[in-house]
Structure 1
């Protein structure tokens, strides 16, 4: 007994030592939110006051000092995120995660983002305000890299910290631009469908602009209408990325005539892939000449979203077509040449090296035409043997996106703000604006161009033909836009915009579902206040899905159903399209739609291409039209040679499949088929994929309300899995009321910090899923009164 006690005390002592060491390690690796720190190149003292949610309120006597401090505090909370984002465009992910990411690195290197970044930096005026402030921000990052604690992810992966450069800023912006694009997921697949099945199979796929959908209306002083319409495989590379992708967004700005206070109310919730850490880093900067409460992308100094007491701005994805694919015709006598409308030209050969963790370096080369890289052998969605090149507007011409972000964040009024927008060539953005003077505005910001009348941009075009060349670039004044329209609001939900350039611009627009709901709600009343807008931004009702049920339910032969199936169908017919977590109809609806799509399209496409099909935007656009369409070439199952299936067969079979799958997954008690059991959100960290470390790095899972294509857009894939696990949604929800700007509110999906040992790592996660908000503090007295801690930076000379 005495021996056992002795062993017990020894084990307890060892455990105590482990706990003490663990606590010391955690304290060492935590961000430092208080005290004093010397910082290089600082001109005067900078005070950083952290509020209760870990947002830094930075007060300095100059902009360079403020942004230098921003770089430091941004890095100490998000250095790992910065590291991953800067590595995407340079093919640096394999060095961190190993050989499984080599194909992803090849793909992104072939896009030429890194080469375009080097060119942009070489052309940047080092004496410009953009360069000076960016360098100050980089100074702050690099001082933390040099002196601060190493984030635990670097220790676990064995990765060494390296200084941040101006090229890294541009590479991060370039990745953001590509993650907005949809053509690479769509055009090759549509071309394969046409070539393998026939052009009639494209008819019902809703790939063109629709004259019946909810368009965003233009207004620039007078009503403008346009009747002329131009026709308008998530890649393996993107699917493997350990960083969030940009997918959509909502925004609306309500004019003074429709608010209780007579002041503008601004709302914005950009939709981005959920990950941990979440994408935005909030920071409030104040100097004698500059103040902005902004949302920063890791490694980018200027806020992409922001507001002050004068104005508010934000973005949604425009979804314009800014990537075109071309067949390249090689010279049969010289395979190093390709045909152009003006004759044969030599292909460029680009060689790259990829560093691979625990493996030898990978050397690879790709060919490049004047349009862009030839993707055969690089992008796995390119199946055909004919060489296909990709023409992407982002890597063409002068890149002034950073100058635009500087101009936007430093604008004094609506005219200053608009002047900065033409410098955004890509990605295409719906720029949303509201101000204290009562202005509301929306501009489609992108470098748009016109192609030949017979050109179909959703298919692979012919690089050797003159008809598929760009006819001209549009002037920014021709872009879709609306400034102070008579209906007293502007909005965007990634839906089709009207145009004032004589055409509907081709794109990969999302269905009208969210747009229709937003417009209906905004038109209902003229006494909006901040509280009702916050309620609207978490709205989870679909104005379209109940009509889909109506169309499909009328084809069901009720006599062939059992009692439980009939009861569920009756409930579906009464469903209002709401998506609270206790709702059962939502689960049945989405299982039914999944099987409806699968039974309609998979027989022709095959399993792999059906998976690509469900990753595109156009599959979302065709759900409602196909539910209403009586005749379609897709209804017949080509695998049943002796039977010709009808829409009725597809609908009935799909409903039975949906019911049976829910029974298998959730049990026979239909009262237990609640949406929250299937629709859950877990914020995954790349290292959280290791089961033993999931508890430390991942946040969640949580049952969540909302769904695909409702205002509270909690998106998921139709991938055949037993659950509808949320993959993307609001990366923040912001509501800014110019009648009470200091009480404007926001929320982040998890927390401000990306450091798992920080108290701000996940402290907003439960608030987010419950639709709650917190203040974006701007009042100096309130910031001081509620301060969680204060960090003071001093010049190194003191």
Structure 2
């Protein structure tokens, strides 16, 4: 027995030592790819030395003899810190994820190939001006110089993920950057899904008048009545099964609830306490680790610029120079249309057009799949756009037999000059120059907010389709592709895009709200991203005669929900303070406790309070009870509360209170009944998930920001090292927007919000500030992987200075790049 024990001890010791050795080996291999920031490196492709000074937040300040050399330095810095992220963005746009991840990402690749983004990006390179092409070529050379260094010095293949997934990286090309622009447009699009959901909801509702309740028109003047979809496209079943979106974290296809958002506001000198213009911007995208944003400063021939970049793109997308500040918000321009294309009954390779049947434009595309046979797709295009599979956003549910669905979209062009326009804005010296530079911008459509030292302005940039006034569905529903009136008539002139320059009130802003009220076909959009945040913004802006940098920061971080303040008195009108005190332990008593808490609540979605969780769970349960019997499985698509719907129902606007009655039940339920039952549902869910001590609940426990690694975030053990989770305030309808997940066991996880925040003060430009949600590095072993995350969570910022001396004074390292063909 003693001998066995000794051998077991020896075996245990051996296994422990072996484990330590293996962990040390893995750490050593992974750490080889950590960049050395204090280094002198000889590279090819430079004309003169470049200096990359990294300040104490690891923000690179890049100095060179020419713009091309500066862009070279940015490419090198991006590749040092975000190599894996750039590879994944490029592979996604190319439809080549399955080469690395196998069949798990095959559906993503199938869809991306059908859009043919990369082919269009290659074509678009030739449409660019010489200056932009030179910048892209220099930027690509900088990335490739880092690749060459990794290969020559055996630097762990550039990123730990490269060791795990064996994802070789081809040299970077200018078209790769353009493909990322198109990929961002894809992630920020929502009109395709909106058309399908409107059509499916129209089919599912027995009362056509109720469509305007659940899919309400945004406040403003009335919109002409649309045909009911079943009449427009006969032969479609009224109910069809849901085909869920691919849940893979690398998928760029998101529900329209996550189709882009953002905040931006500006103050003229007359409304600024310091007498200088002010600008605040916080673009909203899906959270990830690392964040999509990367902070950088470029010293260009036109002057220094600093702000937020996206790795893979050589441009400051939101930021400032000494003379100009610029910010972007999603414009929600209706730049997509779904078409129902009729197949020739005698030849399914032909489809109907206004001139008769024509052959599809088609070609084969081969997808290589890791550990599986290659898959060959036949890509088909009509005159309207690419043919989509029926599984994409449930297109099959609204496509009659003998037809297919195609999509027209402004982004599907081989003459995309969006990146050139963005670079023109970055180089502009005043508002008028920036507005002129933005004319070539195509997609994704944005509201560009601008300030120089005297003027503020906002302009919708991006192509707006010219539609025929006789369009059958006004672009709100899928329409027949062979009807000439349904087809686009080209693109509206840039002058037709909404524009606001130097408003008399001295304040302008956008929270993705409706900005113009123009009749179709000059309407811009029927779908907007916000009806709620704008109300709080107006109150905050009008509450002060003059604003400061700090008041703009206060507005960015505001967590008061105007939705909660408006809806709670409505839905609880017959529940507050009614009835006798119920015995402890009963559902009635729990309901009274919840109502007592909500009665004294200000509507602040603070992470430390219980009321936001009770409110959010109640509204979620209420909407589900109201729509479930009418919509059936389609109710799953409405996984975020629509405040206008709840308000219409409880105010009984145009008979909307009909939603409160459950059709399948014998009694007639009132809206008060539904509110009470929904509150009980919410409390049961809270009890089962978080316990029955309501006063001890924390909204932040349910509303965790999920900065998850897209490839490793679901891997056991590793996920604890690569994911960044944070308790956060805010919610779906607060200016500090934390868009909730909406589905699954954690419906209130914060998954979409301001990964970048910037506030620019032109009375004292160096007092401007910015922050991102994680850190500069994408390497999990770097101290800069998450060093900005806690600052972001607490609502803190770091300085945005163009003072080179300040950057050098606290530099964490200076990388000097020298041309290989010149002596130092």
Match of 1:629 among 641, 648, 652: 652
User: 2:604 corresponds to which residue?
Assistant: 578
In structure 2, the residue matched to 1:218 is none
Match of 1:474 in 2: 492
2:788 paired with 1:764: yes
- Aligned residue for 1:364, secondary structure, equals strand
Q: CA separation of 1:80/1:19 partners in 2, compared to 1, >3 Å: closer, same or farther?
A: closer
* Change in CA separation of 1:30 and 1:240 when aligned onto 2, cut-off 3 Å: closer
Q: Could you tell me how far 1:398 is from its partner in structure 2?
A: 2.7
Q: Give the secondary structure class of the aligned counterpart of 1:407.
A: helix
SS at match of 1:470: coil
Q: Secondary structure at the match of 2:387?
A: coil
Take 1:773 and 1:363, find their aligned partners in 2: how far apart are those partners?
49
Q: 1:202 to 1:507 in 2, by over 3 A?
A: same
Q: Evaluate the alpha carbon distance shift between residue 399 and residue 472 of structure 1 in structure 2; reply closer, same or farther with a 3 A threshold.
A: closer
**Paired residue for 1:47?**
51
SS at match of 1:272: strand
Deviations along 1:105-134, whole A, 9 cap, x unmatched?
A: 111211222221122124445xx0000111
- In the aligned structure 2, how far is the partner of 1:37 from the partner of 1:177? 36
Indicate how the Cα distance of structure 1 residues 452 and 14 shifts in structure 2: closer, same or farther if over 3 A, else same.
same
Match of 2:685 among 634, 641, 661: 661
> Matches of 2:299 and 2:530 in 1, distance apart?
41
Any idea what SS the aligned residue of 1:727 has?
Answer: strand
Deviates more, 1:496-505 or 1:338-347: 496-505
Residue-by-residue CA offset, 1:520-539 (whole Å, 9 max, x unaligned):
11111123211222122111
- Which stretch has the larger CA shift, 397-406 or 275-284? 397-406
CA distance in 2, matches of 1:346, 1:707: 49
Q: Matched residue of 2:617: which SS?
A: helix
Q: 1:750·1:761 contact (CA, 8 Å) conserved in 2?
A: yes
Partner of 1:201: 210
**Contact persistence 2:123–2:414 (CA under 8 A):** no
Deviation at 1:302, TM superposition (A): 1.6
- Normalising by structure 2, we get a TM-score of 0.89
Partner of 1:156: 164
1:267-666 mapped onto 2 (5 Å cutoff): 267-377=280-390, 379=392, 381-382=394-395, 383=397, 384=399, 385=401, 386-396=403-413, 398-436=415-453, 438-448=454-464, 449-453=466-470, 455-471=473-489, 473-499=491-517, 503-556=522-575, 558-559=578-579, 562-607=588-633, 609-614=634-639, 619=642, 621-629=644-652, 631-632=655-656, 635=659, 640-666=664-690
* 8 Å Cα contact 2:127/2:417 also seen in 1: no
- Correspondence for 1:25 among 18, 26, 29: 29
- Partner residue in 2 for 1:76: 80
Q: Which residue of 1 aligns with 2:42?
A: 38
SS of the equivalent of 1:640 reads coil
SS in structure 2 opposite 1:394?
coil
Query: Match for 2:718 among 681, 686, 693?
Result: 693
Q: Does 1:263 align with 2:281?
A: no
1:715 partner SS: strand
Q: By how many angstroms is 1:508 displaced?
A: 2.2
- Counterpart Cα distance in 1 of 2:79 and 2:736: 31
Report how far residue 516 of structure 1 moved.
1.1
* Mean CA deviation greater in 567-576 or 690-699: 567-576
User: Could you list the per-position Cα deviations for residues 337-374 of structure 1 after superposition, in whole angstroms to 9, with x for gaps in the alignment?
Assistant: 22222332222223211121211111112432111122
Partner of 2:236: none
Q: What corresponds to 2:707 in structure 1?
A: 683
Residue 133 (structure 1) aligned with residue 151 (structure 2): no
Indicate conservation of the 8 Å contact 1:375/1:389, yes or no: yes
Moved more, 619-628 or 384-393: 619-628
What residue is the counterpart of 1:224 in the other structure? none
User: Where does structure 1 differ by over 6 angstroms across 4 or more consecutive aligned residues?
Assistant: 1-13, 230-235
Distance 1:549 1:501, change over 3 A: closer
Alpha-carbon offset, residue 591 of structure 1: 0.6
Q: Is contact 1:551-1:627 (8 Å) kept?
A: yes
Distance 1:367 1:619 in 2: 37
Superposed displacement of residue 7, structure 1: 8.2
Structure 1, unpaired ranges of 5+: 212-226
Question: How far did 1:579 drift?
Answer: 1.0
Unaligned runs of 5+ in 2: 227-241
Shift in alpha-carbon separation, 1:143–1:246, aligned structure 2, 3 A: farther
1:547-571 Cα deviation digits (max 9, x unpaired) = 1011100143844972331232133
Q: Residues 586 and 627 from structure 1, CA distance in 2 versus in 1: closer, same or farther, beyond 3 angstroms?
A: farther
1:109 pairs, out of 113, 129, 132, with 113
Q: Distance in 1 between matches of 2:201 and 2:19?
A: 63
| Conserved 8 A contact 2:650-2:657 | no
The answer to whether the 8 Å contact 1:408/1:417 transfers is: yes
Aligned equivalents of 1:549, 1:191: Cα separation in 2: 31
Could you tell me how far apart the structure 1 residues matched to 2:205 and 2:785 are?
50
1:227-273 per-residue CA deviation (whole Å, 9 max, x = no partner) reads 68567989614765356976200010111111110101110000110
Q: Summarize the Cα distance change of 1:340–1:21 in structure 2 as closer, same or farther, 3 Å threshold.
A: closer
Q: What's the offset of the Cα at 1:26?
A: 4.2
